[in-house]
Every structure is written in structure tokens, then in C-alpha cells.
Amino acid sequence: MKTNSVFILIWIAALTFVSGLLNGTGFLAYASALSHHTGNLTRAALELSRLNIHSALHILTLPASFFTGAFISGLLFHEKNFEFSKRYGILLMSFSLVFMYLGVFNTAAMPSTLFMCLVLGIQNGMFIFYKGILIRTAHFTGYLTDAALCLGSVFRGRAEGDKKKSDLQRSLFYLLSIACFTAGGMCSVFINVPGVFFTAAVLYFICGLCYFILRKLRQRN
């Protein structure tokens, strides 16, 4: 069981890395955040205030696509906890096929951007809790807050015994997740857009395959 938990954490880290890679590509190639939409909504609000309706609607397609992805995830995975009965593997391998298509045929910028937002929306809503920890693999403002709250509780002395250990473990998980996302963003600097699509295709395929392996190991236990 402990081995399974380690593999699951590595699987989560890999998905987090991919989201950082895609988000970094969004900034570099398309000048837009793909997984974090507070800035996009602010930009749209500014454009609306200037009566630049077309520009505002163009920007709003990004959070709308992310929202659609999260909506799809809600339809597919309505339960809040991570479970091996869910079809995560099939979904991740489907992502792999589409990213391979984008890499091979060099699809225009806007469809590629919207698809990446859609994927990140689905991915971010794939599962909510694992062992009591809120899991998000594409959005990290909440992780910064949660890590700081847990550490603050420990340093204040409010957490003791098992609670202190739990808070430290949560903080470490949140901070390592942020590090994985950051590493993905850093890698996007060194890979061109088609290369990013091929890399995402390979990583999503591996994540999908690993899920099926984890599922088999779970069934044996």
C-alpha cells in the first residue's frame, strides 16, 4: 500500500509538471495564462471598460474553455475522492492523442490555446481529495495559501502531535507541487511549441499508462 501511495504521488507530480509546461508555453507563445485566469478576467474587464468588446470576448474564451473543461470533469468524476474505479487513464491517453495531432499538424494558435485551457480545466477537476489533501494539478494560488496556513499553525504552536505532523506533511506536499509546476514552466523556455505538444503527448500517455498499472496493483492488493 505504501508503494502504491508513492506511485500515486509521482503520478500527481507528473501531471503538475505538464500543467506548468503548458502554462509556460501559453505565456511565451500566446502571451496568455492557460491555467490561472484571474489575470485573464482582469484583462477582459479592462478591455470592456475601454469598450474593446472584440478584444474582451477574445480574452474571455480562455477562462470559458477552462470552465468547460472543469464542467466536463464534474460530469465524468462527480465524486470528490480519488478512486481507482474512475477512468482517468483513458482520459489522459485521449489527451495524448490530441496533443500528438497538434504537434504533427502545427494547428493554428487559437484552437491550440483553447484546447490546452480545456485540458487543464478537465485535469484540475479530475479529483478533489486524496488522503484528506485537496489536490489541484493546474492551479496553485490556493496551494500557496494552504502551505502558509499549515506552516503558520505549526510555528504558532497550535498544532501538536499527529496534527503537527499532518500539517508539516501537507505543507511539504503543497510546496513540492508548486516546485513541480515551476519546473514545468522553466522547461517551456527551452522547447518550441510543437516540441511542447509532443512532450505533453508523451507525458500524458505515460501518466495514463501508469494509472492502469496502479489500478492493477491496487486490484491485486
pLDDT single digits (tens) 50-72: 999 999 999 999 999 999 999 99
Domains of the chain: 2-220 (1.20.1250)
Instruction: Record the cell numbers describing residue 142, joined without a space.
Output: 490556493
DSSP 32: S
Q: Are 125 and 163 in contact (CB under 8 A)?
A: no
How does strand 133-134 pair with strand 129-130? Answer: antiparallel
Mean pLDDT (whole number) for 207-220: 81
Provide the CB-side half-sphere exposure for 86 (13 A, CA). Answer: 18
pTM of the model: 0.89
Tens of pLDDT, residue by residue over 76-109, are: 877 766 776 667 888 899 999 999 999 888 767 8
Instruction: Record the cell numbers describing residue 162, joined without a space.
Output: 499527529
